[in-house]
Structure 1
């Protein structure tokens, strides 16, 4: 097991009717900006419930944060906070809203000339952040319990990530019943997003981290078991509760402690979203199988472990077991309605040069747990994702 430090200061408040806890979680005199995305939190009553729980505090609202939150929109939120002299941020929504709130929190404390450099330095120049919390309505990204955010700049089609110890939420409220009204597409996306978060930390190379491996395998098996039911039975509270908690645990730092991380699937996927607007989780469903095939030798030990412990594949040659595990992964994604080929999104060979150029522009030239995924390897992965494997 590799050396590590693990610290996660986010308080989780989990269960039904927990939004009422906001009154105790926020300072009594807080001047609050509530940030959210589209109109769903207003339509389903969540926003009204939040405002009631905040009581007599001064509250302003900022809606319209996109599914891929943009720098341009978020800088308007920064201006509103300064104008109204607010001092606490509350994200009400899924990972995009929480990611956007993290950037707003960091930008409000930023002393440089251009807050976009927070993304360009991946958070290295963040020295503080306004306090914030979240009310989660969409399980997927784990942003409710980690310090990471991904932000898009529209004018340059750049989608970059940052993280900082200052951008952990102070608290996150997780009420699984708030996910009941989500569209099936978003729930399916959330299942796959969480699944790939786990594989990015698990499917690397062995370092004898038995606790982390078993934890990751259990989370993957849970998603395989409950994923289809979570999509088909929206008001099954226990299923949604398990999905919400699994998605949080997938990226709160615990299973990544003491093990190498890959994240190349995410970096390549971000370019697909920025260039073509494909849902984040759907880019992951496309890229991951092609990446695993391309990197099967470097990942051989963990792929064989994955085949046996997660998919119970124990017969055949090593290569046959690895391929069977990748095919089972593809079948799982597709059973949830997420295609695993770029051709399903009308993206063809002509797009590859531009995607590779974007990776190079954004410094993504040595990706993966061993930093061996060069632009040329990324090109092969993208080319392989165009058509089904032989």
Structure 2
């Protein structure tokens, strides 16, 4: 059932898996000329059958044209057979022309694949406010089907094609048994800057060969997004192009999944594992980042309150700067907790950085500064906050704020 199984988990991680590992999927990518370098900038994932589809989108009021196209596609039958993605240009705030260009991308790929137009979703990422160089895009779309393969090489090309300021590709694959059949769930994502979820601040694409009811897939996608992609931040900015699309080919041979299916909890846990891995990978690869920060909040009155506090702490520029400088400044953490907008008892808060206790019942505890310094120099920093008010828990992920973040974004268009 895959490699490196963990006994207590209902799923198995497939370390060499990709979005093409689930049955029925191919992927590929190429350079069409949107980027100034020769890096790939156009990619697609294609399913051999119309796949059950679900999606979530940015809540930014200014939504890029591809989001409208994808909504339109999914709304017609609740199925997709292809996702076409370009990087290097967001096709956002581009008016009627941008909308027409996104629909042309959809129709051109549909014609090349011989499928209905509404079976194609479109996604874009890159600079806002510039029209696509459609001659280059359409030429690339014409060539793309020949690049598609069900091998990992196709998935790798797709992952490279969707990157902007990302330094590394982001993917994950797991397997789980449903009705005795092996079901595979995989995902690929991009995201490094303009990351502050109010949905999922990035582009992400999930494939599975599970047979699943569309409504159940949509609910699972939304619920899982809330506790994974919606719990990451890099810089407090929510993009105009954020989109998370899931496609289920139904080729695994299982009985149709839904919330009442006996194997639903195992499938949902596996689905969450893929999303959580991708979310953490985005946070770790934040623009200019040197460290992944994890904030665990416990003892909140509600889960919603715990989420709000965790996201406030992880999003604090002062906390992020302190972690970059390896400064064990717990005062910045408690200040972020206090301004989260969530009711907190100011007399009962505990704070730990790693295993080092710094605050108990809201009172400072002497700690070893040298030990804290060494811990904060590591690549992963975990902050624990316990409010002692209830059972609400949540985890958020982010990264440190470095000089390079400013350098990268000061010259983003140039």
TM norm. shorter chain > 0.5: no
Q: Which TM-score band applies after superposition, normalised by the shorter structure? A: under 0.3
Structure with larger Rg: 2
More strand as a share of residues: 2
TM-score by length of 1: 0.26
More helix as a share of residues: 1
